[in-house]
Amino acid sequence: MSIKLFIVDDHYMVIEGIHALLQNESEIIWLGHATNAASCMAFLQHQLPDVILMDINLPDKSGIDLCKELKSLYPSVNILGLSTFNQQSFIEKMMANGASGYVLKNASRQELMEGITTVVKGKEYLSFDAAMALRNVDKNNSVPVITRREKEVLELIADGLTNNEIAKKLFISCTTVDTHRKNLLSKFEAKNIASLIKHAMQLHML
């Protein structure tokens, strides 16, 4: 099975490097390369690759925006994000904008090939390091996390004190008490204070 590959990256070294890395792969047909978003789009008007390796950092437009634009015009093209950035935010945004996968520039030839052959089938691919970055530590979603000050305010609200009284007792301003109050309502998804207290008691936080 032959795969038509195109690469967009503003560093020649990377383009040459990947070229060299994949030169022995018989499946890969190189359509060309671009060093910025504009020339990439121009090229696509003449030829469509199966897979595009797309750098996030391009001089004229972010790879994330380019990805979105490209996918809307040419949905059949599969995009593999390529980057040095291992942050959850970059990976999530790239995938949300239509990328089929994400590979870090420290990936091995094997990972790169795996990525290319996986996305060309229309499946999603994350390199090992990219997948690790997206792994969220298990969060205890049922119990809202509240800060110490919020807890203090919550207890005093439950005792029936007014904002003013709470402010005096904790040596903070009334506006601060109000902020804590609003945040508590938001965290417990409560419409009013009565509901807030009920939730808190059910969760044994009071």
Partner 1 sequence: MLSGIKYSFNTMKGNLIMTQENAQAFERSMDMLDSSIKEMRRVAHNMMPEALVKFGLDTALKDFCNDINLTGVLRISYQSINIENVMFEQTTAIAVYRIVQELINNTIKHAGAENAIVQLTKADNTLTITVEDDGKGFDKNILNFSKGIGWSNIQNRVDFLKAFLDVKTEKEKGTSVLVEIKL
Site for partner 1, rule CB under 8 A: 11-18, 20-21, 23, 62, 84-85, 87-90, 93, 105-106, 132-133, 135-137, 139, 145, 147-149, 175-176, 178-179, 182-183, 186-187
Q: Which ranges constitute the DSSP H helices of 74-107?
A: 88-96
Q: Give me the residues paired with residue 5 across strands.
A: 30, 51
CB of 196 to partner 1, least distance (A): 15
CB of 186 to partner 1, least distance (A): 6
Measured at the CA of 107, the angle between CA 75 and CA 30, to 5 degrees, comes to 50
DSSP secondary structure code for residue 98 in this structure: T
SS3 81: strand
Identify the residue whose tokens are 């003013």. 164
Identify the residue whose tokens are 């990805």. 67
Nearer to partner 1, 139 or 191 (CB): 139
Nearer to partner 1, 29 or 132 (CB): 132
Nearer to partner 1, 48 or 61 (CB): 61
CB of 124 to partner 1, least distance (A): 20
CB of 179 to partner 1, least distance (A): 4
Nearer to partner 1, 14 or 44 (CB): 14
Contacts of residue 6, defined as CB under 8 A and 6 or more positions apart, other chains included, come to: 30, 31, 32, 33, 34, 40, 43, 49, 51, 52, 53
**Do residues 68 and 56 lie in contact, with contact meaning Cβ atoms separated by under 8 Å?**
no
Nearer to partner 1, 89 or 192 (CB): 89
CB of 122 to partner 1, least distance (A): 27
